[in-house]
Amino acid sequence: MTRTLVFSVLLLAACGRAETTALSGYVEADYLYLAPQDAGIVKTLSVREGDRVSAGDIVFTLDPARMSMAAEQATAAAESAKARAADDGAMAQQIVEAEAALRLAEQTFRRSRDLVKDGAVAREKYDADAASLAAAKARLDRARAEREAMQGEWDSMSAAARLAERRLADLATAAPAAGVIERIYRRPGEVVGAGEPVASLLPPENMKLRFFAPEPMLAKMEIGAAISFACDSCAQIRTAKISYVASEPQFTPPVIYSIEEREKLVFLVEARPDDPSGLRPGLPVTVEPPR
């Protein structure tokens, strides 16, 4: 059925009754705004307005100079912590030395303990060896605790290094879905803030119809219900499914809700077209509600 025939049918229907059921609406879209996760300078822009892109295509990149230095610094710090906390590292060597010192202190203390009973060693020597033993135990405990803390620091620095590498990789922003580049907001050489869009993308599946249904018709407007619509550029009648119905009216009449006043209540309804090809945001449509 051609568009002319559709409107002829609607016109004839309007002539045969006081009020037509056709509703006026328009096409709208949910744009995807492509923005960097970190601030920086736009280095490359691979698209122009109107270009079609596939999911995964690189749209723009930021200058990696500063982020590369941060990643190198984080990696170096992680490697340094790894060297100190490793099994053959400096911290492990300190533990070996502290264990050897503890064994010597234990031997010295045992000799002093046995000799002090016979009076061969002064009490002061026994007390000094006991203090040396306690100090050796404390040094070993401290060395082990420091190595454990260094291993935790190594894990933390390794995570920071991975994050820096991830941030470096994220300087290249790819299209999350196939669609058309609608707008370019920043170009190479310009500074862009974190979360500030560089380009907007319109996937075809993000097209939707918006129209307003009067209160008496609201019972038919169920989520998932099918509607038909026509537009100036549509070669034939198309279909869509209702995806959203507003819970509150867009227009509130006076206090007294007579039959006539209730008909002034309109509710926003959105529907997703089964075939969005050829539809553009702002395009007027004529909607035939569910029967």
Task: For residue 252, give the CATH number of its domain.
Answer: 2.40.30.170
Using one digit for the tens of pLDDT, what is the confidence trace for 11-62?
444 444 445 678 989 999 999 999 999 999 999 999 999 999 999 999 999 9
What tokens were used for 172?
A: 């290249």
Considering the domain architecture, whether residues 267 and 135 belong to the same structural domain is answered as: no
* Backbone region of residue 100 per phi and psi (left: phi > 0; alpha: psi in -120 to 50; beta: other values): alpha
Is 262 strand, coil or helix? helix
Considering the domain architecture, whether residues 268 and 282 belong to the same structural domain is answered as: yes
Buried b (16+ CB within 10 A) or exposed e, 24-37: ebebbbebbebbbe
Considering the domain architecture, whether residues 56 and 21 belong to the same structural domain is answered as: no
Considering the domain architecture, whether residues 220 and 276 belong to the same structural domain is answered as: yes
DSSP letter at 205? G
Considering the domain architecture, whether residues 140 and 206 belong to the same structural domain is answered as: no
Domain that holds residue 42: 34-63+173-198
Taking 50 as the pLDDT cut, the residues of the chain under it are: 1-18, 253-259
Considering the domain architecture, whether residues 269 and 189 belong to the same structural domain is answered as: no
d(CA 291, CA 287): 12
DSSP letter at 30? -
Confidence at residue 180, expressed as pLDDT on a 0 to 100 scale: 96
